[in-house]
Structure 1
Amino acid sequence: MIAKDLRSGVEQLGNLIAESSSIVPFTGAGISTECGIPDFRSPGGIWTKNRPIPFDEFVASQDARDEAWRRRFAMQPTFAAAKPGRGHRALAALYRAGKVPAIITQNIDNLHQASGFKADDVVELHGNTTYARCIGCGRAYELDWVKQRFETDGAAPDCIDCGDPIKTATVSFGQAMPEDEMRRATELAQHCDLFLAIGSSLVVWPAAGFPLMAKNCGAKLVIINRDPTEQDDVADLVLRFDIGETLGPFVGN
């Protein structure tokens, strides 16, 4: 069912939330755009301006690694200035109320943690851009350390332990999805009674399979997204309104 107007849609959403005991939110880039973080796929998004660098290219080419880090440091002021929006705060309120056991996200911006979710309860399918990891041994690095080495040497640094490349702790195209996070997301989708897909185009697989999985396991499915998705037809409720305005009434005090 597609909500005809914001007021009735919010009322229907509120009823579904009230009736549910285990709500699993699944968030995409759309929830963070009001926080100043541009999305990737929409017209004017990041990927329309810069071609994404696949993982195999990052591994094989120093030039690709240098370009990847140049782009990341160019975005640093944007990520550093971003604060949780109304959508993040509303989901955090449901989490504090015991309605949400954990959240699944495609986002890499750390805003769910900043809104009040415990880090262990944020299932990051695509990683986190606020720190870096060696792709070989997995050692974590602070971005400031990487930037200092990058500016000093004029090139993206390698791991001081094993010598393999260091990249942001995100999942690039062609890189394996994190097994533990995929397993936990599967468990959450299979055992909730309400699944909220928020701000995701639902075209990136396998992540896009979780709303359908939840629906097939008996959960009600709500999709909150500005644009239509391929899963609207199977959703119990579709709200094509601004995410902040839709979830704002649930922020609480």
Structure 2
Amino acid sequence: MLIVMAVCGIDQCSLIQCSEQGIVSVAARIEVCTILPSKVTKSEREKFVIRWSRRGEAVFHPECWQMVITSARARNKKNMKVKFLSAAEKLMVKEAAKTAERHDSKEAFEREAARIAEILKSSKHCVTFTGAGISTSAGIGDYRGKSGKWTEDARAVVRLDTGDSPSGSLSDSDDNIDEEQSGVPYEDLRPTYTHEALCKLMELGYIKYIISQNCDGLHVLSGVPEKQLSELHGNVFKEKCDRCGQIYERASYVLNDPLSHYFEELQDQGMTRMTKPDYVKQCNTCGLCHYTGRKCEQKGCRGYLHDTIINFGDELDQSILDRATEHAKLSDVMMCLGSTMTVTPACHLVEMGQQPLKLIICNRQKTALDDICLEMDSEMKQPRGSRVFGDCDLLMREVMRHLLSADELTTWDNEKMKRMAQYDKQRKS
């Protein structure tokens, strides 16, 4: 399921007790989203110390969020820096903490972008590791963020348990918001600034290889050569013959979701009214169906085509993993964009590079590898890597300003419409 990114739309600190109030786009901030109680009376709402939006979103100065979360976890009132935080709102804050997204200031972005550019210039084999965060601006939600699939699924659980919208009674004055997220056809997605920047940096030799956890096909569409890319979790535009192994790249989404629904209904309900085609087989590992409903086009081959997607329980394609491992071990710089690096075995590739490891991470949530980015270089007297919290597109715009001359950057930017037209042609062919 695809999730359309939601925008918080709050321009002031959500903590009512905050003395500064204003939050501007260039300042550091924390954005969160909670699950609102299904029933909130007007009197209870008036006692909240946080201005929650109708969808349960809030934004804070980093120091204000620290006070809020510390107070929510305090065992006695003496340790609560935020006064009048009710038991109900404490639970909301703790739920919000699971989705917290951090955004560094514009000043921090500019400083780190300059350092990252220098790291890339001195690198001999930079590998980029990408996750869902680089595709959010294309229209695909991430997983754990405030607008991610995990958060939306949690909302759905509340709706199922209570029969109510979890966010329908917080503010009488808010505009009505459709709680159901719309699906976005994969064919309509186009490469983001980050996708295009990575392709350009690969063309210029700054990046040697890309390892991606994404299956949206946007790296390929942006022009990244297949030989310099490992799509660990597959590609929704590719299918493979189960007999001869021939790969077919299509202009449209290849998964046959109704066939997987056949097995899902059997598992969930014990029965289904769907008719099972003879060629359909249930996957032994994920329990779904990978067959797309088409046959191999190679002469003399009677094989059936199946998708290349790695579902939970499936094993990674060994040849793709082997290429990724080879380049991960060769890397002298590993640049991780839009990933929390928690999905195995993909995340293990990040630490396979040459030692001492130079690690660059940009996303909006903490990771277990953040400290590696900040390990000091004894000779340079500065961190070997870089840790940036925020949107990948914003960072890459700054990085490109340091790696391309003003004329080169202008020319490249002016060619964007031409590139978009080419993407449209590829997806509609």
Are positions 1:230 and 2:368 aligned together? yes
Percent identity reads 29
Indicate if the aligned counterparts of 2:127 and 2:211 stay in contact, CA closer than 8 A: yes
Deviation at 1:169, TM superposition (A): 1.5
Residue number in structure 2 paired with 1:105: 212
Deviation at 1:156, TM superposition (A): 7.3
Higher helix share: 1
For residues 332 and 135 of structure 2, the distance between their equivalents in structure 1, rounded to whole angstroms, comes to: 25
Residue number in structure 1 paired with 2:394: 245
SS of structure 2 residue aligned to 1:108: coil
Q: Which amino acid is 1:238 matched to?
A: R
SS of structure 2 residue aligned to 1:16: helix
The one of 316, 320, 325 equivalent to 1:186 is 325
Deviation at 1:171, TM superposition (A): 0.5
Cα distance, 1:121–1:144 mapped onto 2, change above 3 Å: closer
Cα distance, 1:138–1:15 mapped onto 2, change above 3 Å: same
The one of 196, 204, 220 equivalent to 2:358 is 220
Residue number in structure 1 paired with 2:188: 81
41-50 or 95-104: which moved more? 41-50
Residue number in structure 2 paired with 1:24: 127
Indicate if the aligned counterparts of 2:237 and 2:253 stay in contact, CA closer than 8 A: no
What value does the CA root-mean-square deviation take over the aligned residues? Answer: 3.2
For residues 48 and 155 of structure 1, the distance between their equivalents in structure 2, rounded to whole angstroms, comes to: 34
For residues 84 and 145 of structure 1, the distance between their equivalents in structure 2, rounded to whole angstroms, comes to: 19
Residue number in structure 2 paired with 1:90: 197
For residues 23 and 87 of structure 1, the distance between their equivalents in structure 2, rounded to whole angstroms, comes to: 16
Cα distance, 1:129–1:105 mapped onto 2, change above 3 Å: same
Indicate if the aligned counterparts of 1:191 and 1:217 stay in contact, CA closer than 8 A: no
Q: Which amino acid is 1:102 matched to?
A: Y
For residues 366 and 351 of structure 2, the distance between their equivalents in structure 1, rounded to whole angstroms, comes to: 16
SS of structure 1 residue aligned to 2:352: helix
The one of 327, 335, 340 equivalent to 1:201 is 340
Residue number in structure 2 paired with 1:173: 312
Q: Which structure exhibits the higher relative contact order, with contacts defined as CA atoms closer than 8 Å and separated by 6 or more residues?
A: 1
Deviation at 1:167, TM superposition (A): 4.9
Q: Deviations over 1:15-70 (max 9, x none)?
A: 1111112210000000010111222343443355569xxxxxxxxxxxxxxxxxxx
Q: How does the TM-score come out when normalised to structure 2?
A: 0.47
Cα distance, 1:156–1:182 mapped onto 2, change above 3 Å: farther
Indicate if the aligned counterparts of 1:93 and 1:250 stay in contact, CA closer than 8 A: no
Instruction: Map residues 134-145 of structure 1 onto 2, 5 A cutoff.
Output: 138=245
Cα distance, 1:144–1:25 mapped onto 2, change above 3 Å: closer
For residues 205 and 94 of structure 1, the distance between their equivalents in structure 2, rounded to whole angstroms, comes to: 27
For residues 156 and 18 of structure 1, the distance between their equivalents in structure 2, rounded to whole angstroms, comes to: 56
Residue number in structure 1 paired with 2:349: 210
For residues 181 and 131 of structure 1, the distance between their equivalents in structure 2, rounded to whole angstroms, comes to: 14
Name the count of aligned residue pairs: 224
Residue number in structure 1 paired with 2:94: none
Q: Which amino acid is 1:204 matched to?
A: V
Q: Which amino acid is 1:115 matched to?
A: S
Deviation at 1:128, TM superposition (A): 0.6
- List alignment gaps of at least 5 residues for structure 2: 1-103, 155-181, 260-273, 281-290, 296-301, 374-384, 401-408, 413-429
Q: Which amino acid is 2:140 matched to?
A: I
The one of 123, 134, 137 equivalent to 1:34 is 137
Cα distance, 1:168–1:85 mapped onto 2, change above 3 Å: same
Indicate if the aligned counterparts of 1:104 and 1:185 stay in contact, CA closer than 8 A: yes
Indicate if the aligned counterparts of 2:113 and 2:399 stay in contact, CA closer than 8 A: no
Deviation at 1:104, TM superposition (A): 0.5
